[in-house]
Structure 1
Amino acid sequence: MFSYLKRKFEKHKIKTTFKEYGHRVDVYDLPEFGKVSFAKWENPLEAEKHLTQGQVDFYKKILKKGDFIIDIGAHIGDSTIPMALAVGKEGTVLGFDPNPYIYKILEKNASLNKELTNIIPLQFAITTHDGDFFYSSSEATYNNGGIAETQQNRHGKYGLNEKVHGVNLEDFLNKNFKEKIDKLTLIKIDTEGYDIEILKSILPFVKKHKPNIIFECFPKLSKAERYSLFDLVADLGYDLYYVEAFDANTKKQLIKRENMTDWKHFDILAIPKN
């Protein structure tokens, strides 16, 4: 009991005390690529993350060499790297994350494995309109968080001193990556419950280009919000699949509208029909 209480107190202290954590670089030997480096954030609240060949193979099922990928809410790059390995150096992966502490690790990961990948880190949130937004977290170390137009929001009581910049995705791509849009095959969204707002902001863009989409059903979403999220994507002509893990051997299950309440928090892979 004493050791349990001690661990609980220590975790509470970490969650409520600001400290900027650095990173370490681990090296993984993947069968297809050989040695691949991965910078890990040393924040003790960060879940342990690894690189595997199975992760790369998951993305290879829906991607090909030279494709253009957008990773919104890229965090430290734990999904960005497998995506980038799947599309190769001739492909391009844009990794968006507005959190300045996380972004430093994402930027480091973009600088690694340059002979195998082409990752462009971007310190922006994706928003319905360009502007500056409040960023808040439930933890003082900013291991999680989200943006809002008001200082009081559901993301938590720890707010950054400075606002973060948000950009409209379609406008940003047309200004900076117009020549790559025709090669877009995947948009991944992981933004602490803001996914539906991002999807709404890019509906015409998605309808026109029909990329695969990965997004999450956030645990705080109500039943009505979960159904709205399903309808938003399904009505664009997509089949939605529950994904247990981003691994080649993962469980993948076609879901219907009523299945959106079957799990509290889960990831969805949406694939265009036909």
Structure 2
Amino acid sequence: MLDYLKKSFARKKARRQFQEYSHTVSKFILKEEGEIAFANWNNPLVTPKVISQEEVNFFKKFIPKGALCIDIGTNIGDTTVPMALAAGKTGTTIGFDPNPHVYKILEENVKLNRDKTNIAPFPYAITKDEGEFYYHSSEASFGNGGISNEIVSDQGAFQLPQKITGINLEKFLEKNYRALLPKLSFIKVDVEGADKEVIGSIGNLLTKYKPVLVAECFTRATSEERAELYNIVADLDYTLYYFSDFDENAEIIKLEGPKDMNRWKTFNFYAIANAE
């Protein structure tokens, strides 16, 4: 009971009062990759990450060894690392997150498993137009958040004291990774409800290189917003699929139309470019 009360108090404090949290390195033994290390954030609102072979194998379905893959909204790297394990040391996994409090943990994860991964982190948001933006969170610990052009209360009561930088992904890749673009096989987007805006901004990349796309249908998205998200992806000549988890054995259901986006309160989907 005492332990429960301590944890409950710590969670309440993390929601209301900012403080820095350290990290703890956890170790996992995978059948194919061997020992994997992961830096878990000691934020009491964050469930410790467990890396499994089944999760890595999920990404292997879409990411071949040596591929280029991109994680937009990395947080601490909970999907970035499994993606990078799928791509391998010869591949390149680029991760973006503008939140400095999760980014510092991401940087720790970049240092780990360097014999098996090649991760390049960047502290940016992905936006259509480049610029400086406000960053808000519903938690004082900044475990999540969203960006805006002005101070708005509906994205969270807590705001970073400094603005964050938004960049156009297509311009960034053309400038810094042009030679690798033909190897682009996978893009994951998880940006707290702004998925359709980000996907809209990378439409040219999806049309030209046809990577598999993973995105989230956000809890608070309206029926109209869900339909818009579906149509943005489908209009790029992609077919969408619900999946129950990042696991090779996950339940998969084809999304036949915009109405299917209302079958679950919040969920992830992947989208595959239709054959020409």
TM range, smaller chain: over 0.9
State the SS of the aligned residue for 2:121: strand
| In 2: Cα distance, 1:193 partner to 1:260 partner | 14
| 2:261 aligned with 1:260 | yes
Task: Determine the structure 2 residue equivalent to 1:95.
Answer: 95
Shift of residue 176 of structure 1?
Answer: 0.7
Shift of residue 9 of structure 1?
Answer: 5.3
Task: Determine the structure 2 residue equivalent to 1:272.
Answer: 273
Contact residue 67 and residue 185 of structure 2 kept, 8 A? yes
- Residues 143-190 of structure 1, C-alpha deviation per residue, up to 9 Å, x if partnerless? 111111111143201000000111000011111111111100111000
State the SS of the aligned residue for 1:47: coil
Task: Determine the structure 2 residue equivalent to 1:129.
Answer: 129
Structure 2 residue runs without a partner (length 5+)? none
Alignment of 1:233-252 (within 5 A): 233-252=233-252
Percentage of matched positions with identical amino acids: 46
Contact residue 238 and residue 272 of structure 2 kept, 8 A? yes
| In 1: Cα distance, 2:207 partner to 2:218 partner | 23
Task: Determine the structure 2 residue equivalent to 1:41.
Answer: 41
Cα distance change on mapping 1:196 and 1:153 into 2, 3 Å: farther
Count how many residue pairs are aligned between Structure 1 and Structure 2: 274
| 2:168 aligned with 1:168 | yes
Task: Determine the structure 1 residue equivalent to 2:221.
Answer: 221
Alignment of 1:122-201 (within 5 A): 122-201=122-201
Shift of residue 13 of structure 1?
Answer: 2.5
| In 2: Cα distance, 1:131 partner to 1:266 partner | 30
Paired residue type of 1:29: I
| In 1: Cα distance, 2:43 partner to 2:96 partner | 20
The farther-off stretch of 18-27 and 6-15 is 6-15
Shift of residue 8 of structure 1?
Answer: 5.3
- Residues 218-245 of structure 1, C-alpha deviation per residue, up to 9 Å, x if partnerless? 0111100000000010111111000110
| In 2: Cα distance, 1:85 partner to 1:111 partner | 13
| In 2: Cα distance, 1:151 partner to 1:113 partner | 39
Cα distance change on mapping 1:137 and 1:26 into 2, 3 Å: same
| In 2: Cα distance, 1:71 partner to 1:176 partner | 16
Shift of residue 273 of structure 1?
Answer: 1.5
Alignment of 1:96-111 (within 5 A): 96-111=96-111
Task: Determine the structure 1 residue equivalent to 2:12.
Answer: 12
State the SS of the aligned residue for 2:105: helix
| In 2: Cα distance, 1:14 partner to 1:60 partner | 35
State the SS of the aligned residue for 1:239: strand
| In 1: Cα distance, 2:140 partner to 2:30 partner | 35
| In 2: Cα distance, 1:62 partner to 1:97 partner | 22
- Residues 34-59 of structure 1, C-alpha deviation per residue, up to 9 Å, x if partnerless? 11110000000012311000011001
What TM-score does the superposition give when structure 1 sets the normalisation length?
0.96
| In 1: Cα distance, 2:7 partner to 2:97 partner | 31
State the SS of the aligned residue for 1:117: coil
Paired residue type of 1:270: A
Paired residue type of 2:77: G
Cα distance change on mapping 1:237 and 1:26 into 2, 3 Å: same
| In 1: Cα distance, 2:237 partner to 2:125 partner | 26
| 2:71 aligned with 1:61 | no
Paired residue type of 1:263: W
Task: Determine the structure 2 residue equivalent to 1:86.
Answer: 86
| In 2: Cα distance, 1:25 partner to 1:87 partner | 22
- Residues 60-80 of structure 1, C-alpha deviation per residue, up to 9 Å, x if partnerless? 111111000010001111111
Shift of residue 11 of structure 1?
Answer: 2.9
State the SS of the aligned residue for 2:271: strand
Paired residue type of 2:254: L
Cα distance change on mapping 1:81 and 1:9 into 2, 3 Å: closer
